[in-house]
């Protein structure tokens, strides 16, 4: 083992440029992953935030007694899809409209009668926040006697669904492309390191080294470079995150577990890259 470590140290010492560049390449490949990972993490969070707000609103007939409303609310709260039900009176609706629609403040200011109906605002449970479920709940609410009309922001929910799909598709496509880039780059780097040392490998064989013995320092080198690259990539991603968080918009960073996984991925990529490159070289000569 000490020989393997020494050989690895020698590899770094003898070709510091090449080694540094391998590490940089792995780091940048993982950094690209990291950037897209961050985008994914933050879109996921944003979707979570938006999804929070999906609700079904049942406008009540004018003059419905409060008791009937309370009864209906209790019924609705018992639906499996429903998280909570809130009764918004006519006065509350007007206050809310004034607050939310500041462009039309004047209109609401000048009104002589309150044109807004009271409503029951129904929040769905997280797992049920999609178009089909919202439509189903809306249908059941519309059947109630006290309900005049039901709105559930169909378009909005549909848009949200599409955003989720788009994020998934873009993530998959771009992620796959960059996985390919990273693997090609790392493979190249190690392959060239092997080529660079092909004379050494040939001589090792001539003096009786086994393939395992020849392979070991390359594998260790690959793992070490990969780990180092992974650490660098996490650092770079953190820098990028910090910049964006400070100057552009509030964002989240990876959890410690995700970051550790990233570093481990670096080591794994390094190992696989060197295994493939060295293996091919040993078989071909």
Partner 1 sequence: MIKFTGVTKEYLKTGAALKQVSFHIARGQFAFLTGHSGAGKTTALRLIYLAERPTAGEVRVSGFSTARAGPREIPRLRRRLGIVFQDFQLLEDRTAEENVAFALEVTGARHTTIRPRVMRVLTQVGLAGKANQYPRELSGGEQQRVAIARARVNDPVVLLADEPTGNLDERATRGIFQLLKDINASGTAVLMATHDLDLVRSMDAHLIELQQGEVVYDSAEDAAGRQPVAP
Going from the C-alpha of 57 to that of each of 54, 81, 162, the distances in angstroms are: 10, 14, 22
Query: Which of a second copy, partner 1, none has residue 78 at its interface (CB below 5 to 8 Å by kind)?
Result: none
State whether the Cα torsion 144-145-151-154 is positive or negative. Answer: positive
How far, in Å, CA of 55 to CA of 45, rounded?
A: 18
Give the one residue of 70, 173, 203, 264 binding a second copy; rule: CB under 8 A. 173
Of 166, 163, 180, the C-alpha closest to 32 is 180
φ and ψ of 55, to 5 deg? -145, 160
**What residues have CB less than 8 Å from 273, skipping those under 6 apart?**
183, 186, 187, 189, 190, 222, 226
Query: Which of partner 1, a second copy, none has residue 106 at its interface (CB below 5 to 8 Å by kind)?
Result: a second copy
Q: Are strands 55-60 and 119-124 parallel, antiparallel or unpaired?
A: antiparallel
- For 121, the 3-state DSSP assignment is strand
Question: Considering the rule CB under 8 A, would residue 18 count as an interface residue with a second copy?
Answer: yes
Question: Smallest distance from the beta carbon of 236 to a second copy, in angstroms?
Answer: 8
Residue whose CB is less far from a second copy, 4 or 244: 244
Q: By CB under 8 A, which span of 26-34, 73-81, 123-131, 204-212 interacts with a second copy?
A: 26-34
Q: By CB under 8 A, which span of 78-86, 101-109, 202-210, 260-268 interacts with a second copy?
A: 101-109
Residues that bind a second copy (CB under 8 A): 17-18, 21, 24-25, 28, 31-32, 35, 59, 97, 101, 103-104, 106-107, 110-113, 115-117, 149, 151, 166, 169-170, 173-174, 177, 180-181, 184-185, 187-189, 191-192, 195-196, 236, 240, 243-244, 247-249
């Amino acid at each position: 083992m000490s020989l393997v470590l020494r050989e690895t140290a020698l590899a770094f010492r003898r070709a510091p440029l090449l080694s540094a560049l391998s590490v940089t390449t792995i780091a940048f490949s993982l950094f690209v992953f990291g950037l897209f990972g961050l985008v994914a993490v933050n879109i996921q969070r944003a979707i979570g935030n938006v999804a929070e707000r999906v609700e079904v609103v049942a406008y009540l007939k004018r003059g419905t007694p409060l008791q009937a409303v309370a009864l209906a609310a209790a019924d609705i709260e018992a639906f499996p899809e429903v998280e909570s039900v809130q009764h918004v009176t006519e006065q509350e609706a007007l206050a809310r409209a004034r607050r939310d629609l500041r462009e039309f403040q004047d209109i609401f200011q000048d009104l002589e009668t309150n044109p807004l109906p009271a409503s029951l605002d129904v929040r769905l449970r997280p797992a049920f926040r999609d178009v089909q479920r919202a439509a189903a709940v809306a249908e059941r609410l519309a059947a109630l006697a006290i309900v005049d009309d039901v709105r559930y922001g169909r378009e909005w929910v549909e848009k949200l669904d599409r955003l989720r799909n788009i994020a998934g598709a873009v993530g998959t496509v771009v992620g796959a492309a960059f996985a390919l880039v990273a693997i090609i780059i790392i493979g190249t780097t190690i392959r060239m390191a092997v080529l660079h040392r092909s004379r050494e490998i040939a001589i090792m064989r001539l003096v009786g080294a086994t393939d395992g013995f020849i392979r070991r320092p390359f594998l260790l080198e690959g793992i070490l470079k990969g780990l180092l690259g992974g650490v660098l990539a996490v650092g770079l991603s953190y820098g990028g995150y910090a910049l964006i968080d400070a100057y552009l918009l509030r964002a989240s960073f990876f959890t410690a577990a995700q970051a550790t996984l990233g570093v481990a991925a670096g080591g794994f990529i390094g190992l696989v890259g060197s295994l493939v490159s060295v293996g091919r070289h040993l078989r071909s000569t």
